[in-house]
A and B are shown apart, each in its own frame.
Chain A
Amino acid sequence: MRRAVGLPWQMLRGAVALTYLFIFTPIVITALVSFNSINQSKFPPVGFSMRWWDDALSERWLQPLWFSVQLATLTAVIATLLGLPLAFGLTRYKFPGRNILVALSLGPLALPALVTGIGILQFFQTAGLAALFGFPALLIGHVVICLPFSVRTIAISLRAMPAKVEQAAANLGARPARVFLEITLPLIRSGLFAGAIFCFIQSFTDYSVSLFLSRAGMQPISIAILSYIDYGFTPTLAAVAVLTLVVPLVLIAAVQHFFGIGDFLYGARDSG
């Protein structure tokens, strides 16, 4: 690799530093605000207190947080399980209705999530499925908006697979199922995990679909925060915001550590 010297590199570094500054400053301010000793979100914080963190770590906030984690995890799993055969069919086969399937599986990406949310709400109501509001409806809604992410990432990794390895396996005597399990699946693994991570984050941070599909006691953390913000941005909320930030970060770090999604995002370490 070339040594990073010269004006263009200095400018790139500057740009990167600015970007990070822009991203991290509000987060740091939010984090600091949560340590205010008064019930106002002052910055710099007035005094130092942990009581807002006691609030944030109470059942009132941990319950929706845990709800969101469960919802996002299940959404990621289901979207990946649905996305895999979809991506497989779309990349490998030409069949009538393929374009419709492409449009259907990528559509939610183009549609504002708010519209999707209203659509699902109306559908459940007219179909007499109002009983599903809460976790089941949220799960369905989130899978719908997450599917494009899993289909896209899995399709990309299927296309990036080295050519002919599946034929080579078949030639060596592997039945289609064995080819899939021993060759295809390991080679698209990082794409699967990357897709699942995208889905988890999409679900975890969503509020526009969740807004319509939640019910009392079955609220994701985003909706809980949104309803609470009516009382103003209190230091408690700042602490909760930091908490919600930590969950996906820890998850990404863990998956990256064990499964290496960076391979997928920034070019594979060990192919080719």
Chain B
Amino acid sequence: MERATVDEPAVAVSGVRKTYGEVAAVDGIDFEVRPGEFLTLLGPSGCGKTTTLNIIAGFIQPDRGSIRLNGQSVEALPPFRRDIGLVFQDYALFPHMSVGQNVAFGLRMRGVPKPEIAQRVEEALELVRLGGRAERKPTELSGGQRQRVALARALVIRPTVLLLDEPLSNLDLKLREEMRLEITTLQRRLGITTVLVTHDQGEALVVSDRIAVMRNGRIEQLGNAEAVYERPATHFVAEFIGTMNFVRGQAMRVSAEGSCIVGFDDHGVAVAAPQPVAGSREVEIAFRPERAALRTAGAAREPTQLAVPGTVRRRVYLGTLVQSHVETVHGRTIIVETVNDGIRQPPNIGEAVEVIVKGSDCIAYPVS
């Protein structure tokens, strides 16, 4: 494969669509992965992320659209000629081969000379901290070790792009966090272009350079962790990433592009509106638990603040944070996080309070 020029994306997916009967698993998606970038396809099950991965790997033929690796079109190439490293969810190690033979497989298929295979297998196993385990059978390894063998097997062929299909979902929490760190460290060190598929938004936020949030076969938002967390483009993204509070309000006046004045109860504030909202229509106003504050009911409100009255129903102690669950008069629950700094005292259960949040910390979405 030719070397990529500097500006050329390592992976370019454009206009890809795949339907099964009436259902579009992937409904026209476009994205590019820059050389060395770590891109995550994030979404709930059935959003099309795994189908997209399988289309890139060549296991599924798209109905439409093109896949380019380093500028070369690969739609016509079968999986075994695509030069892609893939780590499967259940690792898919060859049970009848030793760890070393598993890692050597891709090199053997490429006709790499034997002495070089031996050396590269050893290097790859060292890379994933499994040096000296080449003789073991996959069944003799722990889940985390199998995961690392799968990683070594995919990396040893020096692929154009590394695809990771929910690689951490079979590991327990502690191991998952360890491997998360290990994979990102390795990825940065090798500078290998990586596409991760996951449903775990926490994982996506930690490891990715950019995240494509998917739903119903489409990309709802593509941006870095900060963008998808701070400025979710759609109601779905807002709900899917992190914890988000929603209250129902009314769009009073659509001011500048990307923002509007929303009315809530007797007051109105200017908030961001990434999607077009029509005047005097209902909107969902979203804000994060850590951006809201609590105060006793009835106190004066700043003009730029939104004030939502309610009653404290639960307190959840998280150590560094304390969550207060406030039930609004409309029956919604709002979560407010207070830093456990010993200064601010979270209110007691049953207390009537007002949730206060700045308009600039709110985003309005049209009611679907």
Contact = CB atoms under 8 A, between A and B. Distances in A.
B96 A172 contact: no
A173 B88 contact: no
B105 interface: yes
A265 interface: no
B52 to A, nearest CB: 16
11 contacts: A162-B90, A162-B92, A167-B59, A169-B109, A171-B80, A173-B80, A173-B83, A173-B106, A174-B109, A187-B96, A270-B139
B270 interface: no
Interface in A191-224: none
B92 A167 contact: yes
Contacts of A170: 59, 78-80
Contact of A169 (B85, B94, B110, B157): B94
Interface string B57-96: 1010000000000000000001111111110101011111
A81 interface: no
B150 to A, nearest CB: 8
A167 B80 CA distance: 9
A164 interface: yes
A174 B105 contact: yes
Interface string A175-198: 110100011001100000000000
A165 interface: yes
B95 A169 contact: no
Contacts of A173: 80-81, 83, 106, 109-110, 157
B92 A164 contact: yes
Given A164-B90, A167-B59, A167-B88, A175 B96 contact: no
Given A165-B94, A168-B153, 6 more contacts: A162-B95, A165-B93, A171-B84, A173-B83, A173-B157, A270-B95
Contacts of B90: 162-164
- Report the 6 A-B pairs with minimum CB-CB distance, sorted nearest first: A172-B106, A173-B109, A168-B92, A164-B92, A170-B79, A171-B86
Interface string B137-164: 1010000000000000100010000000
Given A162-B95, A187-B96, A168 B109 contact: no
Majority secondary structure, A binding face: helix
Given A164-B88, A270-B95, A172 B139 contact: no
Contacts of B57: 167, 171
Contacts of A186: 96
Contacts of A182: 105
Nearest to A178: B109
Contacts of B92: 162-165, 167-168
Chain B, interface size category, equals 20 to 34
A227 interface: no
B95 A174 contact: no
A162 B138 CA distance: 13
A111 B96 CA distance: 38
A182 B101 CA distance: 11
Contact of A172 (B59, B78, B137, B157): B157
B80 A168 contact: no
Contacts of A270: 95-96, 137, 139
Contacts of B80: 170-176
Contact of A168 (B94, B110, B157): B94
A128 interface: no
A270 B92 CA distance: 14
A174 B157 CA distance: 13
Interface in A94-153: none
Nearest to A162: B95
Q: From A170, A176, A182, A272, name the one whose CB has the most chain B CB atoms within 10 angstroms.
A: A170
Contacts of B109: 169, 172-174, 178
Nearest to A185: B96
A203 to B, nearest CB: 30
B91 to A, nearest CB: 8
A167 B78 CA distance: 11
Contacts of B153: 168, 172
Given A167-B88, A270-B137, A172 B95 contact: no
B81 to A, nearest CB: 8
Q: From A173, A175, A271, name the one whose CB has the most chain B CB atoms within 10 angstroms.
A: A173
A82 B367 CA distance: 61
A18 B139 CA distance: 38
A175 B92 CA distance: 17
Given A169-B94, A172-B105, A173-B106, A272 B88 contact: no
A246 B359 CA distance: 89
A172 B86 CA distance: 8
B94 A271 contact: no
A165 B80 CA distance: 13
Given A164-B88, A164-B90, A174-B80, A169 B96 contact: no
A86 to B, nearest CB: 24
